[in-house]
Amino acid sequence: MSDAIGVAILGLGNVGSEVARIIESSASDLAARIGAPLEIRGIGVRRVADDRGIPVELLTDDIDALVAREDVDIVVELMGPVEPARRGILGALNAGKSVVTANKALLAQSAGELAEAAEKARVDLYFEAAVAGAIPVIRPLTQSLAGDSVIRVSGIVNGTTNYILSAMDNTGAGYDTALAEAGELGYAEADPTADVEGYDAAAKAAILASIAFHTRVSADDVYREGITKISADDFDSARALQCTIKLLSICERLTDNEGHQRVSARVYPALVPLTHPLASVSGAFNAVFVEAEAAGELMFYGQGAGGAPTASAVLGDLVMAARNRVQGGRGPRASRYAKLPIAPIGLIPTRYYVRMRVADKPGVLATVAAEFSKREVSIATVRQEGEVDETGARLVVVTHKATDAALSETVAALADLDVVLGVASVIRLEGTQE
């Protein structure tokens, strides 16, 4: 058995507390798996107090001093915000400490800077817990599929939005009602903006795209739409189409007719056929669907958030980093050799669902169809839903694949037609063979 591996934990929230608890309660098992015991040298907190359930002598509000200590070998960052987490991680890496982090926002913004610091110091930077909680996604992409070519990574990576959309689908509730319920149950924060507007999912998409396609992708490169405009009427239409609605993160390697490749990373609500595996992912669960050239289709499913599930992923990384310390090795390094350009959303071909109110008069359908035809957007189906009343008729159009640019131009033209009283909803349709 080698000498103890010193661990510093930054942050003592739900995840940090659970990580500290597991290190203490599973000490003998972890030591046997690593080949050396883990010892917590200190825990960085904003407020040092004796009511934290942790020996007060382990607590410190001096993050810089903690990560620089000579008896600390690995730093586990679980503070959350970009700062002071970035400063703490860079301080640890520059001091030759390996780092485990769950900070998706920081990684989506500063992954390149952190990877370069880890490479210069020849230490590990692990972040499995940054995407999809306990679900192993990062390690399969960096190791299990290292010899394959990933084509697409798509999935549900935000539990809050998936809970809200599942509740709307199951109960017929509107968005505001479902959001309030999610808040009461602890699934939604007091300020849910990061979740419901897609920022959280976009940060995770940037991480997944960077790894899958060996290209540096930041959160600013990810096209993003949230779920705040999804209505009960949209779910009624989705059911009629044998679909449900999910907030999807989609990362894709696109190849044009001349063989040139680009990366697309995008987040938006989409209709998903009930026959697709992602349609059955309900509540606060997450799932990631990977398509690779040789391996084919793979799906990873499980708890995407919460103290215990996220702590499980953190401990997995901590064990790997500690083993490397004992054995004198290193984990996989960041791979950015491909340097593929980012495809703008306007070039991305997708199917669409368009719901509008139209006047109840002859020739309306032909007029509407003409606007789609002018921009070479092919219509797959057209249906009238509900009863005609003084506000007109509800018309739903589902297209074949068209670029985002062509569809946006079509929607703008529809809004200018006298016979179209309003375009109520435009949602993409994913997971079909067309």
48 within 8 A of 59, measured Cβ to Cβ? yes
Residue 16 assigned ligand-binding role: yes
Q: Give the ranges where 145-257 is alpha helix by DSSP (H).
A: 159-171, 175-184, 193-196, 199-212, 232-240
Whether 229 sits among the annotated catalytic residues: the reply is no
| Cβ(320)–Cβ(74) below 8 Å | no
Does the annotation place 407 within a ligand binding site?
Answer: no
Q: Strand 125-126 vs strand 59-60: parallel, antiparallel, or unpaired?
A: unpaired
Q: Could you tell me if 59 and 42 are in contact, meaning their C-beta atoms sit under 8 angstroms apart?
A: yes
The one-character DSSP state at 136 is -
Residue 57 annotated as lining a ligand binding site: no
Place of tokens 């009930």: 274
CA pair distance 196, 158, nearest whole angstrom = 9
Determine the Cα–Cα distance for residues 269 and 261; give it in Å rounded to an integer: 25
Q: Tell me if 170 is assigned to a ligand binding site.
A: no
13 is in an annotated binding site: yes
107 known ligand binder: no
Q: Is 324 annotated as a binding residue?
A: no
Query: What is the rounded distance in angstroms from the CA atom of residue 105 to the CA atom of residue 205?
Result: 11
Q: Catalytic residue, from 204, 229, 339, 401: name it.
A: 204
Do the Cβ atoms of 430 and 248 come closer than 8 Å?
yes
The H-assigned helical ranges of 270-346 are 307-327
- Is-contact 354 140, C-beta < 8 A? no
H helices of 328-375, in order, are 364-374
Alpha carbon distance 82, 65 (integer Å):
19
3-state helix, strand, coil in the chain (%, to 5): 40, 25, 35
Contact 31, 38 (CB under 8 A): yes
The answer to whether the annotation marks 99 as part of a ligand binding site is: no
Which residue positions form the known binding site for NADPH?
104
Which residue positions form the known binding site for L-homoserine?
189
Which residue positions form the known binding site?
10-17, 104, 189
What is the set of active-site residues?
Answer: 204
Which residue positions form the known binding site for NADP(+)?
10-17
